[in-house]
Structure formats: C-alpha cells, structure tokens
Amino acid sequence: MTTNCAFCELDIYVLENDLAFVIYDKYPVAKGHALVIPKRHVADYFDTTEEEKAAMLQLAAEISEVQKEELSPDGFNIGINCGEAAGQTIFHVHMHVIPRYKGDMDDPPGGVRGVIPEKQKY
C-alpha cells in the first residue's frame, strides 16, 4: 500500500481475489464500466507478476459475466493505459472493462485504435 494513491486507499470492492479487486469507474464512459486493480501498488502493468496478471484476467472474466447478466451489453473494450503518453493518470495499474452497446458510437469499427482518432479506421 502506498499513501496518496486513490486505489491503495480503497477497501470496498465489487469483486476480489487474493491479488486483485474490481471497482466501478468513478467517471464511467459506459454503464457498468469497471476497473480491475492489483492489490499491490505497482504503476505499470508490465511490472506486475505473472500471478497478478492471472488474478486480473480472472477478475476481468468474472466482472464481464456480472455485466452481461445485469446490463446485456453487445460487446466489450478491455484496456490498460501504461504511462503518461498512453493516457495513464493514476499510476497504479488498472484494467478497464467497458461494456459496449449497439448505437453507443456512430462508427465503432477500429475499437481501441480510436485512442488515436485518425488511426481508428484502416
């Protein structure tokens, strides 16, 4: 745990396992937008252990089942921002699990490529 880290200070989770937990995003981009976060304070996904990666993936699968049951999304975006240049603003790893719905975007092909809008279409 690190002081002054918004994620390290959390103690109420939607789901958890020994190494990670799930919360709903405070500023969701879609209904049900969730974050999967390792319990150990680590800034970059590439610095997590193999066990932490597996724990995060397990919880991503579990929260997607909850989202499917409760929200009936038509698809998902899953992503991790690593570093300031990639848009990371809280420097404690967190994986976004974002339910997507038909019609929530006019032209969704290209998906996560849209982080650089002019590169989304190919």
Of 41, 92, 94, 96, the active-site residue reads 94
Q: What is the token pair recorded at 68?
A: 């499917």
Cα(122)–Cα(119) distance, integer angstroms = 7
Task: Please choose, from the candidates 31, 30, 26, the residue with its C-alpha nearest in 3D space to the C-alpha of residue 7.
Answer: 26
Q: Is 33 a catalytic residue?
A: no
Residues β-bridged to residue 95: 36, 80
Q: Are 38 and 93 in contact (CB under 8 A)?
A: yes
The sign of the dihedral angle between the CA atoms of 81, 83, 87, 93 is positive
Q: Catalytic residues, which ones?
A: 94
